[in-house]
A and B are shown apart, each in its own frame.
Chain A
Amino acid sequence: MTSTIRNLKRSPTGRESIRERDYDGSELSFGRDIQSDVQLQDLSVALKHAKLRYDETGEVFIDISAGQKALINNRIRTGVVGPLQVGTKVKLGIYLITLEAPTEKSKLVAQLEVAEDISGTENEPDEQSVFGLKRALPSKRIMAWAFAFVVLVTCLVLPTHINKYPEGKVAVATPFQADLFWNSGPISLLHSNLKSDCQSCHVKGWEAVTDTTCLDCHTELKDHAKPERLQQSTPLSTGFEAVLGDVSETFGRPVDRCTSCHVEHNGRAHIMPSSQSLCSDCHADLDKALPDTELLNAADFGTAHPQFRPSVITSPSFDKPLYTRVSLDKDPKGVSGLKFPHDVHLSKTGAVAKMASTLDSQYEFADGVGCLDCHSEEAGGALFEPVSMTNDCAMCHSIVFEDDEGYPRTLRHGEPKEVIASMRDFYEAKALGNIRDAEMNTTTRRRPGRASQIRDLNRRELAFKQAENRTIEKVEAIFSEGGACYDCHAIDRPAEIATLDFKVQPISLNDAFYPLSPFNHEQHEIKGLSCDTCHSAETSKTSDDVLLPKIEVCRDCHIGEESYREGGDFAHGKFPTNCLTCHAYHDGEHGKDNSKD
């Protein structure tokens, strides 16, 4: 009783060699165990994996150990399998056992071979995949091109496309507004209605924003000066600046556009440029460029600003007063035509104060008359309302001409003809009243007759005559020293008083000494400042005095941007101002006094 194993080996060149071995007995054990009949050196094989055996009839069976498996004719089997035909292939781990036909000496013959390549070279890791990063990360080159592609599409192609076809399919389909990626900064607050509408200003690609575009909306801007004079006075750029200008033009950005000064996309801060040099570049030496200019050169407020030249009235008129600009250094007189001594009114002890105290309960004049009792602030507080006789003077300066049985008769201010007419009306009406009263009293005891008729006539004539005389007397009185009008107005007396041709000389109140640079009083309402800090009204004896402070007074607190920047004692404790603190640019021609002529 023998069994035979034919061990087939293949050399690397493919040559086969077979070694036969015979075993005693009808059983062959297979396993990793050294004790096995056939030792299989493979870790996927169990120590005792299976047995091949044949029975009395010569049928061959395989007993697979519990828990183990074998691949028999390519099917996974367990337990006892058989009888097995010749040619059956049993696979255990890497080993293949093929049942062969029995021979004379052996009923059980099987060929054993290694069926899988175990050289192991193929699962040896290669150096590049272990140590290189190529397989752990996407290729650098692919990432590079992909990134570049994404950026170019979203940040360049899409925005330009949408700009060209704002209503096109792409524009409609993209969920975001691609050209907003180009927004270089927040738009100024004043333009924020346009913030998503790039094309309202960037009308054409590659074309710098034009002045026409700005002026489409800003229709009311006035020229700063006549264009040719503006050009004449602008210093020609030289050297480096000229080169810069040329370069800028070459790249499609002409200089001297609206946007040269009003730079957008810089938030709220910069749309209104305020730098001093914007003005002083031209105004510092204006007389050189424009020898005939009426304007004085001006630059830094602290060091190079001329004395103020308010427009003062040199010739009052009811309809067209004549204004002239005179430097405060020349101690100008403004002729209003009015008699008004500030000192008398402001004195704390004089007649005015006394009279005021009697009116205290009505007007709160307890401590005399103050500035604000006559000058009332404009709405907004920057300036003051023009002084008005009825609102601001009449509380004291009553123009009552007659106390008519407890009912004061007041004249109409500002209308001298009407004043005279209404006085005459009043006295004539009084005369008529007297006549009527007299006639009523006499009818009972008077006999009718020609003589009494004549007497009545005479009496009437006399009454009217007296009324006329009274009128003349009263009118003359109000227009003469001590009279209501005369107190404040200069009067032209008629040669013949009886004509009552009194004329009030023209008066004009100056309500804008600096029409283009209005002062803001409200901003100066701060602790330590009062009216008399700047206006010395208390010592002014005549209304001709121009009570405006000179520039030196302003400079007590304010100096210019540049002198402030230079610092030092001069700048110590001062507030910097620039030109735009008081002046504006687009408010019309500054070369002449254009507000009042």
Chain B
Amino acid sequence: MKTRKTSPAQHVSFLAHRRFLWLKVSGALCVLSIVGYVSTDFDPVRNGGTWYGYTLGVIGALLILWLSLLGARKRAITAGHWSLKGWTSAHVYLGVSLIIVATLHSGFQFGWNVHTLAYALMIFVILSGIIGVFFYVYIPRRMSDNRAEMGQMDMLKDISNLNAMLDDAAQPLSDKYVPIVRKAIDKTKLGGSIFRRLSINDARCSTREALTYFQTEMRNVEAKERSEILDMISVLERKNSLLLKIRKHTRYKALLQIWLYVHLPVTFALIAALIAHIISVFYYN
């Protein structure tokens, strides 16, 4: 993956696209749905089975299908009013309006059934979307502050260089120090499981361990080895601060992607549940 140069403004601008056009459209949809819901006389029951319920249901289902097409749309590049930015803007705002449309459609009747399953999955998708947008707004600035114009490849190259320097600096050291340095070189993990990525905690990082070790060791080291150890400490310090930067970067990158690991798969589950919902209400008519 190439490191994309993205300015924060560019990331978030879809929210304000065309002066919040889609926010207005979505707000209007919500208000209309609520007014309709309150003013229609439902007899005898208020739920998806009334004409109004069916109307909201169809609107909701069409919206969901359209929202799901964003993935396909992302892969086709066009510009103008129907730019990807426009799509994303509409996607976000109309997506949120589904909370109102679908809830009114259900007539607030929930239970342990496919209908509520579809609803719950939808809420899940929407919440993950909202979280995603929040990350899009919140993270990019921090991310560029953190890496300060440094590319991802640059970071990895620097780590390799620092490892070579560690190797060099360790050559003259006593045998007892060598395994610690080797561990710092070989066992310093980058990336890793999703939990590691999300926490920047380095308590179990072997570079960090080596650094602490040598810093303590300085107190009882023999005079003749003192300057070698000081060299080692300075290299370890450099590596340690670069690692922190990389871990933060990894965390930001993970946050920017992880919500999509909910958003997209659950969208599929939602569509499946929706199909089951619609078929079931006509099958057991």
Q: Measuring CB to CB, which residues of chain A are less than 8 angstroms from any residue of chain B?
A: 32-34, 41, 43-44, 46-47, 120, 123-133, 135-137, 140, 143-152, 155-156, 159-160, 163, 179-186, 198, 202, 205-209, 244, 247, 251-253, 261, 263, 266, 270, 273, 275, 277-278
Contacts and interface: CB of A to CB of B under 8 A. Distances in A.
Interface stretch (B16-24, B134-142, B160-168): B160-168
Given A130-B191, A137-B258, A263-B49, 19 more contacts: A34-B172, A43-B171, A46-B175, A125-B159, A125-B191, A128-B1, A130-B246, A131-B1, A131-B250, A136-B192, A147-B266, A151-B269, A183-B111, A184-B47, A184-B48, A206-B285, A247-B51, A261-B44, A277-B43
Interface in B249-284: 249-250, 253-254, 257-258, 260-261, 264-269, 271-273, 275-276, 279-284
B261 A182 contact: no
A152 B275 contact: yes
Interface of B: 1, 41, 43-45, 47-49, 51, 109, 111, 113-115, 117, 152-153, 156, 159-160, 163-164, 167, 170-172, 174-175, 178, 181-182, 185-186, 190-194, 197, 246, 249-250, 253-254, 257-258, 260-261, 264-269, 271-273, 275-276, 279-285
- What 6 A-B pairs have minimum CB-CB distances, sorted nearest first? A147-B269, A273-B44, A144-B268, A143-B265, A151-B272, A155-B276
A270 B284 contact: no
A128 B3 CA distance: 10
Contacts of A32: 171-172
B190 A125 contact: yes
A156 B175 contact: no
17 contacts: A41-B171, A44-B178, A125-B191, A130-B152, A132-B1, A135-B191, A137-B258, A145-B268, A152-B275, A155-B272, A181-B113, A205-B283, A206-B285, A275-B43, A275-B44, A277-B41, A278-B44
A257 to B, nearest CB: 11
A208 B43 contact: no
A136 B193 contact: yes
Nearest to B48: A184
Contacts of B172: 32-34
Contacts of A150: 269
B194 A133 contact: yes
A43 B272 contact: no
B159, B178, B254, B284 interface centre (most CB from chain A within 10 Å): B284
A163 B284 CA distance: 10
Nearest to A251: B282
Count chain A CB atoms within 10 A of each CB in B47, B171, B266 and give the residue with the most. B171
A156 B152 CA distance: 46
A84 B129 CA distance: 71
A131 to B, nearest CB: 5
Contacts of A278: 43-44
A205 B43 CA distance: 26
A182 B156 CA distance: 54
Contact of B254 (A136, A181, A253): A136
Contacts of B182: 43-44
Given A46-B175, A159-B280, A185 B156 contact: no
Contact of A151 (B1, B117, B181): B117
Contact of B268 (A129, A148, A263): A148
Contacts of A263: 44-45, 49
Nearest to A160: B283
B215 to A, nearest CB: 20
B170 A144 contact: no
A120 B44 contact: no
Contacts of B273: 151, 155
Contacts of A44: 178, 182
B163 A120 contact: yes
B272 A124 contact: no
Contact of A43 (B51, B178, B258, B279): B178
B24 to A, nearest CB: 28
A181 B260 CA distance: 28
A127 B272 contact: no
Contacts of A34: 172
B250 A148 contact: no
Contacts of B257: 132-133
A147 B268 contact: yes
A347 to B, nearest CB: 52
Contacts of A202: 284-285
A144 B270 CA distance: 10
Contacts of B181: 43
A127 B285 contact: no
B285 A184 contact: no
A193 B275 CA distance: 30
A152 B246 CA distance: 42
A182 B265 contact: no
Contacts of B268: 144-145, 147-148
A148 B271 contact: yes
B69 to A, nearest CB: 14
Contacts of B197: 133, 136
A127 B261 contact: no
A49 B170 CA distance: 16
Given A130-B246, A147-B265, A182 B113 contact: yes
A208 B276 CA distance: 17
B284 A179 contact: yes
Given A145-B268, A155-B117, A156-B280, A208 B156 contact: no
A266 B250 contact: no
Given A130-B250, A131-B1, A208-B285, A147 B47 contact: no
Contact of B45 (A43, A148, A270): A270
Nearest to B115: A184
A180 B175 CA distance: 71
Given A120-B160, A156-B280, A133 B254 contact: yes
A151 B156 contact: no
Given A34-B172, A156-B279, A270-B45, A252 B114 contact: no
A127 B1 contact: yes
A507 B268 CA distance: 80
B231 to A, nearest CB: 15
Nearest to B193: A136
Contacts of B159: 125
Nearest to A127: B152
A120 B163 CA distance: 10
B45 to A, nearest CB: 5
Contacts of B175: 46-47
Contacts of A247: 51
A202 B285 CA distance: 7
A133 B160 contact: no
Of residues B114, B152, B182, which shows the largest number of chain A Cβ atoms within 10 Å of its Cβ? B114
A252 B282 contact: yes
Contact of B160 (A124, A152, A180, A252): A124
B160 A184 contact: no
Contacts of A41: 171
Nearest to B267: A144
Contacts of B253: 131-133
B71 to A, nearest CB: 10
A93 B109 CA distance: 72
A146 B266 CA distance: 10
Given A43-B171, A131-B1, A185 B109 contact: yes
Contacts of A270: 44-45
A131 B281 contact: no
A129 B49 CA distance: 50
A129 B191 contact: yes
B284 A148 contact: no
